[in-house]
Amino acid sequence: MQDARKRRAFACCFATVVALGVYGWIQNSVLFPRFAEFFPVGREIDTAVRAALYIAVAVVASRKPNLLDARTISATSIVAVASATALLYAAVSMESNGLAILGIVFFEIGHIWIVVMYGLALCLLATPRHSALAVAFGTVAGDIIQGIVGVFPLEVGMAAMAGLPLVALALSYAPAARFLSMLQSEAAPSELEIANPRSFLAPTNALFACILVFSAASGYALTLNEVDNAPNSSPAEWMGTLAVALLMMSRRKPGGEDMLFSLSALLVIAGFLAAPLTFGTDDAGANALLRIGKNCFDVLVWMTVASIGKQNPFSLLIALGIANAARSIGTIAGAIAGHTVNDFAPVAEPFAHTITACALFAFVAFLWLGFRNFSFERTIRGLEMPQTAQQNDDREDVFDKRCFTIARDRGLTERETEIFLFMAHGRNVGFIEEHFVISRNTVKTHVKRIYKKLDVHSQQELIDLAESEPR
């Protein structure tokens, strides 16, 4: 029964990856090419709005998780996506920049929470390896579907853009809702972080910087050598990603994050080196290399975030928000570079070569200077599970029971047991004197008797005895 539930959860996440992958492709091949005719910065504005909303998700998840009600979020997402679809269709039909911006904002408000719900469901699979395989095979299936169906007409594409995110929401709702309910019942992660700093990744952690840089390569691949303002794609993309997925499936040992990172980096470097050979052509070879590298890195990111969630569930939603914000910001930077190369390649090819060479140098320098000693595996393993207020209360109850057992076994009186409990918790003579409203001499007399019965000579020895006594 449990295996069947795991298989159903994996199948739902796989289907969600496919749905959102096809949605993203439709957005880039149907909506944004139409925007390019009257609103050429539409894609960049959409990505910027997405980045801002992901940052908002991370802040809310850290400080006010009680606001994250699954039903409210889902209802808001459905209304926002439906409204945005009408606005975006009207914007394209009327070539209105204002309606386009309004539609983008509404759509991202709805879409962002759907991706968050999907991310939670994905990261809550049995193991991080399952999360990575769902992403890898889902990406391959989405790419194959894209190659089969071709580019949709505007009306069909807009309907699919509205429907596919809602399918993803339906598939991921149940596990994500359970997680959000758990998050609401505990202290805010920002409060837990104060007492458990080693349990959370800071927004400045090298992991998120790495996501930003690799996403820049992804943005460059999206726009390089565009065909009719749509991404230039090749079957080699899904074939390469499938090979990586099969390799991961054959690996039985846990880990492998650092190896996957190295493979991603090599593929991206190869893509940058091949890019000048494709300027001014429809050759998608460089795009394919860059995207296979990006797909490998996406798998790595999901595996890493899922591992973070396993180590510390309270940091999962925060990590999702920061990681996706970094991905969006990097994509904008890469897309701008790709557009610039496309503009200059026909008229000033040496300048286009220079931009690509600078991008490659920056990428390699970043890896060499910032990531020689960085390890995804060490970052994940270095996180600790924070102690919640309930867990601290439970531990204190266990400790108190242990103290009562010691007192009973060593023949302490009722008053001596009470004083022993206070001393085991580190309270001094003055505190005990005030609490019981007895004289200092009386407290000292009780303490001497307790020491004698326990065969200890100081309060520290008493505490050590209480902490070391078997349960």
Indicate the DSSP class of residue 233: -
Tokens of 207: 């992991």
At residue 101 the predicted structure's pLDDT band, cuts being 50, 70 and 90, is very high
Mean pLDDT of 229-249: 82
Summarised one tens digit per residue, pLDDT across range 344-373 is 777 777 888 888 888 889 888 888 887 777
- What does pTM read for this prediction? 0.76
pLDDT band, residue 385 (cuts 50/70/90)? low
**pLDDT given for residue 389 in this prediction:** 46
Say what the pLDDT of residue 255 is. Answer: 66
Contact indicator for 284, 230 with CB cutoff of 8 Å: no
Contacts of 317 (CB under 8 A, 6+ apart): 57, 58, 61, 65, 68, 116, 120, 183
pLDDT by residue (tens digit) across 416-459?
Answer: 988 998 888 888 888 888 788 888 889 899 999 999 999 888 88
**C-alpha R_g of the chain:** 28
pLDDT value at 390 more than 60: no
**pLDDT tens track for 126-154:** 888 888 899 999 999 998 998 888 788 88
pLDDT over 80 at 77, yes or no: yes
CA distance between the termini of the chain: 35
Q: Which residue has the higher pLDDT, 195 or 353?
A: 353
Helices (H), 185-256: 189-195, 206-223, 236-250
Mean of the per-residue pLDDT values of the chain: 84
Residue 399 and residue 422: Cα distance in Å, rounded? 12
| Local confidence band at 168 (pLDDT 50, 70, 90 cut-offs) | very high
Q: Give the separation between CA 293 and CA 367, rounded to whole angstroms.
A: 15
Residue reference for tokens 């997680």: 179
Task: Return the SS3 of 436.
Answer: helix
Q: Would you state the pLDDT for residue 15?
A: 93
Please give the average per-residue pLDDT across 52-77, as a whole number.
89
| pLDDT score of 464 more than 70 | yes
**66-95 average pLDDT score:** 91
Q: How far apart are CA 105 and CA 331, in angstroms?
A: 18
Residue 276 has pLDDT above 90, yes or no: no
CA 295 to chain centre: 15
Cα 246 to chain centroid, rounded: 24
**How many residues are there in the chain?**
471
Residue 395: pLDDT over 70: no
Q: What is the pLDDT of residue 457?
A: 87
What is the predicted pLDDT for the residue at 363? 87
